[in-house]
């Protein structure tokens, strides 16, 4: 329970951090719960869809986004913007890593965030509540899946080091199987297709990032989380 609460305090704004003292060992133990934080974030984010079924789709979409940002703290959006700036800069590895560490946002980061919120708004206005519930779980699971096939790209350790080093191809397959089972129970064969396509996308994203910087970082993990969340919703919107 302490390990789960620690992970929840890291990747959400739910006030549970005071209930557990941080330690490196406990953080390593908590990594296994990284995807499951998404179920809590997704469940709370889906509340506007459940409660306001007679409200206009546009208003419900806006409320879903606002609740998601409040609960998650938008923690992976920084990684999305930083990765967009670095990976699309056309520079060599060391310069890309420098750009990703820069606290300032560039044009590609702005473009990435605009596209992200356009997709999020459109899909959140249309999909069933269960898909919003599953969205952060599938996105975080897909990123954890890629960690099992990745190396850490930077010389000095960072926030993504433990997550990447804690996963192996075996744990990645376990994560995929768990997602497929949950998706099938919740959504049937369409759910299997959504998860399978999202994980395939995550794998190819990871390979593309490896080609750019030779591995993954905390920023690129966040990038994969957010891109896969939106792709999951896009696929769901098409299938439903």
Burial category of 45 from C-beta neighbours within 10 Å (exposed 0-12, middle 13-18, buried 19 and up): buried
Q: How far is the first Cα of the chain from the last one, in angstroms, to the nearest whole number?
A: 37
The domain limits of the chain are 2-239
Res 78: pLDDT: 94
- pLDDT over 80 (residue 131): yes
Task: Please list, in sequence order, all residues whose beta carbon lies within 8 angstroms of the beta carbon of residue 25, skipping any fewer than 6 positions away.
Answer: none
Rounded Cα distance, 121 and 139, in Å: 17
For residue range 169-225, list pLDDT tens digits in order: 999 999 999 999 999 999 999 999 999 999 999 999 999 999 999 999 999 999 999
For residue range 66-81, list pLDDT tens digits in order: 999 999 999 999 999 9
Contact between residue 127 and residue 45 where contact means Cβ atoms under 8 Å apart? no
Choose between 212 and 25: higher pLDDT. Answer: 212
> Could you tell me the pLDDT band of residue 25, with boundaries at 50, 70 and 90?
confident
CB atoms under 10 Å from CB of 61, counted, come to 20
Res 17: pLDDT: 66
Considering the chain, what percentage of its residues have pLDDT values greater than 70?
99
């Amino acid at each position: 329970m302490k390990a789960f609460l620690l992970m929840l305090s890291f990747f959400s704004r739910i006030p549970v951090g005071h209930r557990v003292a941080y330690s490196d060992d406990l953080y390593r133990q908590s990594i296994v719960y990284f995807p499951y934080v998404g179920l809590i974030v997704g469940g709370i984010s889906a509340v506007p869809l459940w409660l306001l079924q007679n409200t206009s789709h546009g208003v419900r979409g806006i409320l879903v986004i606002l609740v998601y940002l409040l609960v998650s703290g938008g923690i992976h959006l920084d990684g999305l913007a930083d990765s967009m700036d670095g990976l699309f800069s056309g520079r060599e590895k060391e310069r890309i890593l420098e750009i990703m560490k820069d606290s300032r946002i560039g044009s590609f980061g702005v473009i990435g965030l605009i596209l992200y919120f356009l997709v999020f708004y459109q899909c959140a206005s249309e999909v069933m509540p269960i898909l919003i519930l599953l969205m952060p779980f599938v996105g975080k699971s897909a990123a954890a899946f890629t960690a099992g096939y990745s190396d850490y790209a930077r010389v000095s350790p960072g926030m993504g080091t433990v997550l990447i080093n804690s996963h192996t191809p075996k744990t990645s397959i376990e994560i995929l199987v768990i997602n497929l089972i949950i998706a099938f129970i919740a959504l049937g064969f369409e759910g299997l297709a959504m998860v399978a396509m999202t994980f395939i996308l995550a794998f190819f994203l990871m390979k593309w990032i490896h080609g750019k910087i030779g591995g993954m970082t905390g920023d690129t993990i966040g990038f994969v989380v957010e891109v896969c969340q939106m792709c999951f919703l896009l696929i769901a919107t098409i299938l439903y």
